[in-house]
Amino acid sequence: MPSGTLPIETRNILDTLPTLIKKTFPIPGKFRSALPSGIAELSRLLTNGRGDRTLSYLGRPNLLSAYLHYFLPWNIYRLCLLIPHLDLSFSQNDTITDIGCGPLTFASALWIARPDLRKVPLEFFCIDRSSPALDAGKKFFASLSEGKSIWNIHPVREDIDFRQANITRKVKPASLVCAVNVFNEIYETISHNNTDGLKRMAANAARLLRGLSSDNASILTVEPGVPHSGHFISFLRESLPELGLVPASPCTHTDPCPLTKKRWCHFAFEAPDAPKELMRISAAAGLPKERLVFSFLLAKAGKKVSTTKTKEEKTRVISDVFPLPDNLYGRYGCCSHGLVLLTGERSRMERTASMNLVKPVFAADRTRDKKSGALIAEVL
Segment among 68-72, 80-84, 112-116, 310-314 with least mean pLDDT: 310-314
Q: Check if the beta carbon of residue 127 is closer than 8 Å to that of residue 158.
A: yes
Distances from the Cα of 365 to the Cα of 105, 113, 339, 362, 377, angstroms: 48, 44, 16, 8, 11
- Among residues 145, 102, 167, 155, which one has the least CA distance to residue 124? 155
User: Domain extents for the chain?
Assistant: 8-301, 315-378
- HSE at residue 129, side-chain half, CA atoms within 13 A, is 13
CATH number among 3.30.200.20, 3.30.300.30, 3.40.50.150, 3.40.640.10, domain 8-301: 3.40.50.150
Q: What percent of the chain has pLDDT over 70?
A: 91
Residue 248, number of CB atoms within 10 A of its CB? 20
Distance, CA of 312 to chain centre: 29
The verdict on whether omega for the bond into residue 224 sits within 30 degrees of 0, i.e. cis, is no
The partner residues of 152 in beta bridges, in order of sequence, read: 123
- Among residues 20, 27, 59, which one has the least CA distance to residue 141? 20
The yes-or-no verdict on residue 46 having pLDDT over 90 is: no
Position 118 confidence tier, pLDDT thresholds 50, 70, 90: very high
The string of pLDDT tens digits covering residues 66-78 is 999 999 999 999 9
- Residue 378's SS3 state is strand
The string of pLDDT tens digits covering residues 10-44 is 999 999 999 999 999 998 877 788 999 999 999 88
Q: Cα dihedral sign for 139, 145, 148, 149?
A: negative
Alpha helices, DSSP H, located in 246-320:
276-284
Beta strands in the chain (DSSP E): 94-99, 122-128, 152-157, 174-180, 213-224, 245-249, 267-270, 291-301, 315-317, 322-324, 328-335, 338-344, 357-358, 361-362, 375-378
Mean pLDDT of 68-96: 94
Residue 258, number of CB atoms within 10 A of its CB? 17
Residues 6+ apart with CB under 8 A from 165: 204, 205, 207, 208, 211
pLDDT of residue 289: 82
Distances from the Cα of 103 to the Cα of 17, 130, 142, angstroms: 14, 9, 12
Work out the burial of residue 122: count CB atoms within 10 Å of its CB; fewer than 13 is exposed, 13-18 middle, 19 or more buried: buried
Q: Cα dihedral sign for 203, 207, 209, 210?
A: positive
Mean pLDDT of 233-240: 93
Q: Cα dihedral sign for 162, 268, 116, 112?
A: positive
Q: What is the mean pLDDT of the chain?
A: 88
Position 306 confidence tier, pLDDT thresholds 50, 70, 90: very low
Work out the burial of residue 52: count CB atoms within 10 Å of its CB; fewer than 13 is exposed, 13-18 middle, 19 or more buried: exposed
Q: What percent of the chain has pLDDT over 90?
A: 57
Residue 255 DSSP label: S
